[in-house]
């Protein structure tokens, strides 16, 4: 009865065709990796910030909890409702306006529901670059990217989603609108509310709009693939590349021989450059002059070979060759999936700790699960590894996960902690790692987080059960 | 009696020679612009984080308020005690250890009391760059830089203090130590506590250590001075420079003819290039190759002249000439002081709004105070102007300030707000702008700030009366 009153009020706010509570709602209730299926009281689809504020106020008045959702591409179950049937799923997907693009200020202001690719395209149409780029860019939204502080492939040069945002518009737990849509590079007038909301996974407020940083488009991009004998050589190559290329270095991706072998097995039509490399590094250099960029990249690789860091290398001669190299890197997650489920880790470490971490953890895993196969690859330039563990060859993936997942996670995360790393580099906490977090985060940090949550959402109505 | 018990306990913690309450304490009690003089219960000088935590606990037990202080170079009275004689001045100046420098990870971890210049030098000694640079670098501390989110001359390329920090160690209002000294580029395991403390001016916690980002040292730096006919031309030059030089553009400073004329009047021994420029722009380009950098800078200036954005330009031919150009820019604040007190504004605007802002505000000021002289200069690349108003020629500076300061501030700040700007770009709020802030910040933002303050410092013991 009380729920019906709320549903009627929500229909009044957004229109009854945008309050969904019948039929197949799995587009909103099931996460895309199909590990979390919830049941919402209703899916509510506001079209602007005023509607979001009114929805939040109505839910507050009825004591209903809200789960904000963008493109529903999250990897940790942070954006789907629980199975209680009492939570309102607030989909921002209809809020898709590009509100302003300011070329002289290198900023654009957009609704939270804009799809990342649409944001990239709007910047591109103005001759500018919005550099956030990740696999889900065709369906994830900028609001979700900011709520989870997304990473991706260009963090080395341009930073995470956090570093690409100058201002936010947020609806608070009370249903007030905070207009923090600033296009300023400098503003020291109070606490950093923007960064408090970024990465808070919808638990402190609902991001409804953002002012984003744009960049000049690089005129030239050069890509190379280099073979390294071991991880320490790859780390030394990174140090040399940063020295020689500085901000020109826009990509530095590490791939193990086994990761590339999976790609070769499952996608035999793809080219396989440097087939004997123990480790392959994908380097990308961006610049304003093509011949200078090529010269700098070739000089770097020459110097690295002289120093014994690189055994062999290929430099892409065309955009098509460059895309082919990136395609290899991007095919690793798909090749893994073809090989069968594995135990995934999205970890970050100080770059200097990576050689020891890999050597120790590889050895410890081999002792724990003899024959387990490591799919080690990732954004080495950011210290971010996707350090995944695949069942021994021929074994059942499901049985492997059922038997070994908890012990493997503990082994990996304990090693991460020992080396000063993070158990979630770019994917967040959500529901998946909520119970793991307290094992690896200090009680003081957790206490500060709880104090902030209590201050901003005292009734616990925003995305409850996530993160904290 | 109660105060004596606290003093005895503090002496036990840090040693009696580091608890000062007699004699001339103006090094700590008087701000360096001599506008705020307080009276502390005592100046307490801990040597490490454990001592800071113990001091905070002792003060909490006795209900005493704490005012943290670094190098006492702040510009808004945020680091000196009030005149009640009840506040404990916590000086971090003895905490000067460089705890770790990690070249492969491009990070260093330091005590909060390290002087900025010492941090720069430690990085330099390792062949690396810590790019934060500002006038007070010989005496300000990195803890103060982070507590106030300092800006300076290299923000365009490297960001504010906030962007240069990866991790923090903070003592909370309860005297707990939060060890957030992470050297990670990616870490999505909870709320962004780091950025909440950065820029909070000691009102939420006491920064005791930090992990800082380092960068490769540019091998080449090129400097040029360009004459522009007006502010729109200077803004268009910035757009062109960012397109052509991208991350190579490390400095873009604007100076009005009157600002440079003050330098010529008070420092006649300095060279005066481009004496007829209505506006002068100082450009700096950093790169890894000297001849490429020179070529790029000369090509940019040639293109800008063809487009009519630049009337004349000089490129420094040596490090000495480059230093001389920077010296002109850095002499403006001193020349102003020689000319007499003025009304200072540290404002930020979207770069695209600056031409209209300057035209409108110049005209409105001329109507409000006929003959008032504008000293307009600043970090145009960041949208940050030091838009200062000097008494009419020959008039008394003191009488001018007494008569006109409130109305001039209102006129300037109202215009800043209309154009989407900030009334404090890099200096902060402190005591100086505490009562002005509510006039220009939204009630929702102020409400969020108060909720955070209440959550983290419920008894209001950390730097009370500052910011909020």
- The answer to whether position A381 is within a domain reads yes
Question: What is the DSSP track for A193-217?
Answer: HHHHHTTSTTSS-EEEEEEEE-EEP
Domain membership flag for residue B465: no
Residue range B335-343: mean pLDDT, rounded: 93
Mean pLDDT (chain A, rounded): 97
A223-257 residue pLDDT tens: 999 999 999 999 999 999 999 999 999 999 999 99
- Residue A153, pLDDT > 90, answer no
Question: How sure is the predictor about A424, in pLDDT bands with cuts at 50, 70 and 90?
Answer: very high
C-alpha to C-alpha distance for A235 and A174, rounded to whole angstroms: 48
B109, B201: one domain: yes
ipTM of the complex: 0.97
Q: Which residues pair with B67 in a beta bridge?
A: B89
Q: Tell me, what CATH number does B33's domain have? A: 3.30.43.10
Write out chain A residues lying below 8 Å of B192, CB-based: 162, 192, 195-196, 198-200
How confident is the model at residue B153, as a pLDDT?
A: 87
| Rounded average pLDDT over B24-29 | 97
CB distance from A102 to chain B under 8 Å? Answer: yes
Higher pLDDT, B2 or B255: B255
Residues A212 and A226 in one domain: no
Cβ-defined contact of A196 to B196 (cutoff 8 Å): yes
CATH of the domain at B180: 3.30.465.10
User: A465 in the Ramachandran plot: left (φ > 0), alpha (ψ -120 to 50) or beta?
Assistant: left
Q: Which residues on chain B are in Cβ contact (under 8 Å) with A109?
A: none
What is the sign of the dihedral through the CA atoms of A75, A76, A80 and A85? Answer: positive
Residues of chain A above pLDDT 90, percent:
97
Residue B292 structure tokens:
């490429």
- Give the neighbor-by-neighbor strand order of the sheet with A107-111: A98-102, A107-111, A206-213, A165-171, A177-180
Range of the domain at A232: 220-333
> B50-76 in b/e burial notation, b at 16+ Cβ within 10 A?
ebbbbbbbbbbebebbbbbbbbbbbbb
Cβ of B192 under 8 Å from any chain A Cβ? yes
Residue B228 sits in the same domain as residue B317: yes
**Of A91, A108, A132, which marks where a domain is finished?**
A91
Same domain for A17 and A103?
no
Question: Which chain B residues in 272-301 lie under 8 Å from chain A, judged by CB atoms?
Answer: 287-288, 292, 296
The predicted pLDDT at position A33 comes to 84
A240 and A295: one domain? yes
How many domains does chain A divide into?
Answer: 4
Chain B within 8 Å of A342 (Cβ-Cβ)? Answer: no
Name the band, by pLDDT with cuts 50, 70 and 90, for residue B1.
Answer: low
Q: How many percent of chain A have pLDDT more than 70?
A: 100
The answer on B168 and B79 residing in a single domain is: no
Quick check: is B450 in a domain? no
Predicted confidence (pLDDT) at residue A74 exceeds the cutoff of 80: yes
Within 8 A of B427 by CB-CB distance, chain A residues are 188
Confidence of residue A99 (pLDDT cuts 50, 70, 90): very high
* Partners of residue B149 in chain A, C-beta under 8 Å: 188, 192
| A150 and A230 belong to one structural domain | no
Whether B136 is in a domain gets the answer yes
Do B58 and B116 lie in a common domain?
no
Residues of B in contact with A172 (CB under 8 A): 444, 448
Give the residue-averaged pLDDT of B105-126.
98
| pLDDT over threshold 80, residue A307 | yes
Domain annotation covers residue A130: yes
Domain end (from B375, B397, B418): B418
Any domain includes A462: no
A204 phi, psi to nearest 5 deg: -115, -20
Same-domain pairing of A174 and A226: no
A1 pLDDT above the threshold of 70: no
Residue-wise pLDDT for A114-140, tens only, equals 999 999 999 999 999 999 999 899 999
Q: What is the CATH number of the domain that holds B279?
A: 3.30.70.2190
Quick check: is B452 in a domain? no
Show which of B152, B185, B216 is a domain's final residue.
B216
Residue among A100, A168, A175, A185 with most chain B CBs within 10 A, to mutate: A185
Residue A288 confidence class, pLDDT cut points 50, 70, 90:
confident
Decide if A445 is inside a domain.
no
* Extended strands (E) in A245-383: 249-256, 279-287, 312-315, 342-343, 346-348, 373-379
pLDDT tens for each residue of B148-167: 999 988 999 999 999 999 99
Q: What is the pLDDT of residues B60-77, one digit of tens each?
A: 999 999 999 999 999 999
Residues B295 and B360 in one domain: no
Span A342-357, average pLDDT: 97
For A236, the token pair is 């030394």
Q: How far is B12 from chain A (nearest CA, A)?
A: 26
Candidates B172, B195, B440; nearest CB to A195: B195
Q: Do both B327 and B349 map to the same domain? A: no
If asked whether residues A106 and A186 sit together in one domain, one would say yes
């Amino acid at each position: 009865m009380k729920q019906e009153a709320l549903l009627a009020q929500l229909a009044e706010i957004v229109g009854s065709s945008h309050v969904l509570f019948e039929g197949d709602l799995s587009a909103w209730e099931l996460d895309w990796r199909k590990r979390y299926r919830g049941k919402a009281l209703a899916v509510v689809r506001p079209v602007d910030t005023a509607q979001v504020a009114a929805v939040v106020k109505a839910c507050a008045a009825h004591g209903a909890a809200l789960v904000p959702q963008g493109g529903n591409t999250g990897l940790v179950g942070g954006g789907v409702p629980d199975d209680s049937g009492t939570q309102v799923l607030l989909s921002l997907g209809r809020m898709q306006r590009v509100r302003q693009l300011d070329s002289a200020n290198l900023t654009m202001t957009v609704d939270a529901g804009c799809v990342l690719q649409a944001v990239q395209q709007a910047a591109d149409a103005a001759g500018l670059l919005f550099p956030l780029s990740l696999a889900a860019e065709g369906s994830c939204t900028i609001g979700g990217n900011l709520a989870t502080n997304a990473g991706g492939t260009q963090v080395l040069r341009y930073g995470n989603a956090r570093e690409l945002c100058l201002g936010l518009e947020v609806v608070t737990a009370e249903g007030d609108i905070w207009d923090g849509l600033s296009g300023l590079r400098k503003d020291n007038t109070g606490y950093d509310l923007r960064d408090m909301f970024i990465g808070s996974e919808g638990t402190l407020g609902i991001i409804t709009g953002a002012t984003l940083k744009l960049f000049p488009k690089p005129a030239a991009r050069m890509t190379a693939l280099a073979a390294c004998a071991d991880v320490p050589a790859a780390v030394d190559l990174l140090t040399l590349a940063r020295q020689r290329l500085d901000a020109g270095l826009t990509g530095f991706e590490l791939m193990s021989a086994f990761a590339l072998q999976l790609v070769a097995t499952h996608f035999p039509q793809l080219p396989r450059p440097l087939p004997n490399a123990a480790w392959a590094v994908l380097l990308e250099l961006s610049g304003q002059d093509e011949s200078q960029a090529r010269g700098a990249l070739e000089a770097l690789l020459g110097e690295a070979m002289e120093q014994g860091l690189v055994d062999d290398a290929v430099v892409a001669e065309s955009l098509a060759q460059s895309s082919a190299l990136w395609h290899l890197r991007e095919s690793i997650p798909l090749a893994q999936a073809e090989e069968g489920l594995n135990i995934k880790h999205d970890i970050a470490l100080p770059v200097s700790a990576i050689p020891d971490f890999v050597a120790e953890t590889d050895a410890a895993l081999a002792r724990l699960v003899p024959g387990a196969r490591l799919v080690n690859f990732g954004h080495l330039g950011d210290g971010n590894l996707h350090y995944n563990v695949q069942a021994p060859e021929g074994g059942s993936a499901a049985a492997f996960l059922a038997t070994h997942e908890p012990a493997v996670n503990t082994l990996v995360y304990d090693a991460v902690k020992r080396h000063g790393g993070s158990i979630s580099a770019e994917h967040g906490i959500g529901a998946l790692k909520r119970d793991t977090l307290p094992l690896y985060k200090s009680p003081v940090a957790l206490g500060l987080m709880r104090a902030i949550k209590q201050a901003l959402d005292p009734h616990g109505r925003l995305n409850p059960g996530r993160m904290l």
